[in-house]
Amino acid sequence: MSDRYRCILLFGAPGAGKGTQGKILGHIPGFFHLACGDVFRSLDLTSPLGRKFMEYSSRGELVPDELTVEMWKQNMHAQTVLSLFKPAQDLLILDGIPRTTTQAKALEKHLEVLMVLHLVCPDEKEMMHRMRRRALKENRLDDADEKVIRRRFEVYHRETAPVLGFYPKSIVHEVPATGSPAMVLMKVLDMVAPLQDHHFRNPLNA
């Protein structure tokens, strides 16, 4: 099934560090990082889709599945056409998608999921603290408001956490996401480097 993108899913609650780890991995040749939230934020916020995104994200809610999957598909296609992402060589690191089991099902025909890396931070207070810091640094309105942050956690527990059950247990791995980004990175690399090495030695279409 070589027409599916080989990928690793970065999974975890808001503030667990998916974006931080994803960005670092994205700088390593042979990985291509795509964060669904970043794609949404890069939209023209006065366009119909941009306005929809603002409407949902400002409340801490998820953008409806169909819109999200469609936008994701178009973005992946564009990245591939522009050769920013080269599926034959690059291992895709997806962050922030799928966030519902409906999305997971819709992505099944497009993805060969090699691993789900679950960044686990048992301390919700610590994650909220990280989000408030991020709100100031990145000017993110959805992480600045206490009520919206709480809503994001509720949505995570209700809609996103069940996505873990969609994938075989054998490919779901937990990584403690406490400590400095560099310490977490060491554990993340332990998990993902062998997969990248395998992809490197056995590229698609070879």
The residue (of 89 and 102) whose beta carbon lies closer to ligand AMP is 102
Contacting ligand AMP (CB under 6 A), which of 28, 49, 56, 203?
56
57 is an interface residue for ligand AMP by CB under 6 A? yes
Kindly tell me the sign of the dihedral angle through the C-alpha atoms of 10, 13, 14, 15: negative
For residue 97, the minimal CB distance to ligand AMP (Å) is: 4
For residue 10, the minimal CB distance to ligand AMP (Å) is: 10
User: Which window, 77-85, 95-103, 115-123, 188-196, contacts ligand AMP (CB under 6 A)?
Assistant: 95-103
Closest residue by beta carbon to ligand AMP: 37
13 is an interface residue for ligand AMP by CB under 6 A? no
**Spatial contact of 155 and 60, defined as CB atoms under 8 Å apart:** yes
187 is an interface residue for ligand AMP by CB under 6 A? no
- Tell me how far apart the alpha carbons of residues 20 and 196 are, in angstroms, rounded to a whole number: 19
20 is an interface residue for ligand AMP by CB under 6 A? no
